[in-house]
Structure 1
Amino acid sequence: MRLAALIGAVVSTLALSVTAANATPSRGVTGTIISKTTFGGKDYIVREITLDPGGSTGWHYHRGTLFALVRAGTLTHTESDCTSTDVYPKGSAFTEPSGTDHVHIGRNLGKKPVVLEVLYVLPAGSPLSDDAPNPGCDFD
């Protein structure tokens, strides 16, 4: 019985390690939490995010809904099908739905920083995002 539990733990650890090894880390991204409150089993977090020129969020998804406003620059947002790309210039607002079927990446292809003001509505205690491997796109 103990051997089966040990084998299960090792297999689980290896599976998690493979996922983490395939993740695409962000680069040139900084974020500051402006406010956070929890109500009704959900975290409401306001965060300012800056992507430097050439910066990328890395491939990821969210466990809840994200609402964003582009304060400066232009964000290029690509879905995991590698062809659905939206471009959000200064003043644009957009929503990112939750779940593993909504893996995406945000990139700054411009010469000025992209500044986002973001509201995360997440299940209480969830991370802001979960890393995901590149789905096969020929960038990042």
Structure 2
Amino acid sequence: MRIPGLPSLRPNAAPASGTASRVLAQFTVGGRDVLLRQTVIAPGGTSGWHYHDGTLLVLVARGTLDHPGADGAPVTYRRGRVFREPSGPEYPHVARNLGATPVTLFVLYLNPKGSPLSRHVSPPPGAD
């Protein structure tokens, strides 16, 4: 996915679609991988269902993010909102853009050393 004005963003791996990211900072300290990443989700784009091994702090810098969890309850975060994603397989979720403008996120990952950024899972029963 090419985002005009942001050529350094690279498409995210499947099952994500319509998303692209770039790493802004990365280091390891005290057994933790710390990574700051910018992600853009195009209209209709999705991360696919996943969870994280570590805690994430997320800033919605632009747009409106649809972010339901396993219970399917609607969760929406608008521009300027900061939220925390807890770690572990008991917290699966999806990040989607149901709007007409791109969503821009800045995400701080606090992962155990060597962990992937996310682990993809099948959608929970009844999830769309």
Which bracket does the TM-score occupy, shorter chain normalised? 0.7 to 0.9
Gaps (5+ residues) in structure 2? 1-13
Instruction: Report the Cα distance in structure 2 between the residues aligned to 1:125 and 1:132, rounded to whole angstroms.
Output: 19
Question: 1:120 pairs with 106, 109, 119, which one?
Answer: 109
Instruction: Report the Cα distance in structure 1 between the residues aligned to 2:30 and 2:127, rounded to whole angstroms.
Output: 41
Gaps (5+ residues) in structure 1? 1-23
Question: 2:71 pairs with 78, 81, 102, which one?
Answer: 81
Q: Partner residue of 1:52?
A: 42
Instruction: Report the Cα distance in structure 2 between the residues aligned to 1:44 and 1:132, rounded to whole angstroms.
Output: 23
Query: How far did residue 85 of structure 1 move?
Result: 2.2
Across the aligned residues of Structure 1 and Structure 2, the Cα RMSD in angstroms comes to 1.1
Q: TM-score, normalization: structure 2?
A: 0.87
Q: Partner residue of 2:60?
A: 70
Q: Partner residue of 2:91?
A: 102
Query: How far did residue 121 of structure 1 move?
Result: 0.1
Q: Partner residue of 1:133?
A: 122
Q: Deviations over 1:95-116 (max 9, x none)?
A: 1000000000011000000000
Instruction: Report the Cα distance in structure 2 between the residues aligned to 1:130 and 1:108, rounded to whole angstroms.
Output: 20
Query: How far did residue 44 of structure 1 move?
Result: 0.5
Give the counterpart letter for 1:118 in structure 2.
V
Q: TM-score, normalization: structure 1?
A: 0.80
Count of paired positions: 115
* SS in structure 2 at match of 1:67: strand
Structure with a larger share of its residues in helix: 1
Query: How far did residue 25 of structure 1 move?
Result: 1.1
Instruction: Report the Cα distance in structure 2 between the residues aligned to 1:49 and 1:80, rounded to whole angstroms.
Output: 22
Q: Partner residue of 2:7?
A: none
Runs of 4 or more consecutive aligned structure 1 residues displaced over 4 Å after TM superposition: none
Query: How far did residue 138 of structure 1 move?
Result: 4.3
